[in-house]
Chains A and B, each alone.
Chain A
Amino acid sequence: MLVSTFHLGNIYIGVDILLVREINRSMEYTPIPGSPNYIRGMLNIRGRIITLFDLKRRFAWSQEEPVRQSGQDKELVVEPKKQYNVIMKTHHEVMRISRRLADTQCTWEDPVGLVVDRLGDVRNVVDDHILPPPANLKGISAPFIRGVVRIEKELLVILNIAKIFGSDDHLATDVTTGGASRVH
């Protein structure tokens, strides 16, 4: 399995490359008042409206208040720190590659994206090497993790993004650690 890897804070994370549609430099986005705090906002990429997820908030990390640029007339917020948007494929798009993958890993219908701090390499991971998350792993609650892999000296956390883009209700009712759980 090829995995796209990223850095988020000091954690090394990865997602199945088949689920990734494209990666952009972070750009202007529009917040959605009243939405959950881990929804950063909406983004227009070539006519598609992407809902951006703030992974740090999703993992309920201590509020890292982004530094705002002041004295700027733009209504839209520009993150001063260079970040990257990882735009995911939709269920429909993954369906064309693999029905099984779409049903288990990519259950969202809307175009969504993740915000990460830095980009890493594409890694080839052998499925057998993926281990269940260690119980003492800090920072990411177990349902969000599909497994961990030791790569060189680092520990790569492979995300269960079906859970990340699922709603909290589902989390409560369907707490499994494996990757193969449908959200909808």
Chain B
Amino acid sequence: MALKSIRQAINEALFQEMRRDPRVVVIGEDVAGGAATAGERDCAGGVFGTTKGLIAEFGEGRVIDTPITESAIMGAAAGAAVAGLRPVAELMFCDFLGVCFDQIFNQAAKFRYMFGGKAKTPLVIRTTIGAGRGSAAQHSQSLYHIFTSIPGLKCVVPSNAYDAKGLLISAIRDDDPVVFCEHKLMYDLQTEVPDEPYRIPFGEASVVREGDDVTIVALSRMVHYSLEAALALAREGIECEIIDPRTTSPLDEETILESLERTGRLLVVDEATPRCGLAVDIAALAADKAFAALKAPPKRVTAPFTPVPFAPSLEKLYIPSPERIAAAVREVVGYRR
């Protein structure tokens, strides 16, 4: 099986779904890669290269470059979805959510409910998350917890190329709006990916590593940092189980709780800020439904409650590191009442 990067996996999923279903269209800023410039079409395929080649095969009718206006992109895509297309709309950075939030959470997310189930909104919003590129406070946030908190939206946060392809195909074939969060620093990360199309169901966590001492729940880039920490901890005799929920809405509570029944210890690692986020959500889940099994208080490793700093030294400190994760695990494992 061929090794493919997350960028290639996403590109392949888009190609295969657009070939399979003529209702699938792509819309966003620069998705055709410079269609507005004479003779320069398809030069890049979006700022991260994920839509490269689509304009050449599917043309301007299905690969729609837009002006720089997120509210128009999301409004047009939500409307097209209820009207019968299956748009994949691009929100270049999730940080731009503010100007199109009404179209997403108060329109797209509500249609099925408010029309008594008679309307479908098969809309995918692809967006990017994550700090570490020196992109400063307005292009570095991880805001999936905001999408996760809205009923009517589904939210996907993949950590590898195999999951990215299967989850994106599931998102495109889903009849509800799905926000698909890609980490900006992980596009070149490779795993084995089948050439054929395949679907990964939402709400099914992946157990990335098995261990009996502590349960680490992590998303996106933090899965890899947790693995790095787990390797170091294994040399100390601490075996970490690492669970990647893959989708934050729906969330696979069962896999997390089952693991906690065995380990009795929880660490949640989240690149997002600490208030009202996934780390809080999952820690509350443990306190609510696994209290009797807990041997130590649930612990969280997150970014601090500040904007993402631009200064490289501060940005490095901002992002949870394998060292911080390992230290937190030692604390949880060493806890005595």
Q: Are A and B a genuine interacting pair, yes or no? A: no
Chain B interface residues toward A at CB < 8 A: none
Chain A interface residues toward B at CB < 8 A: none
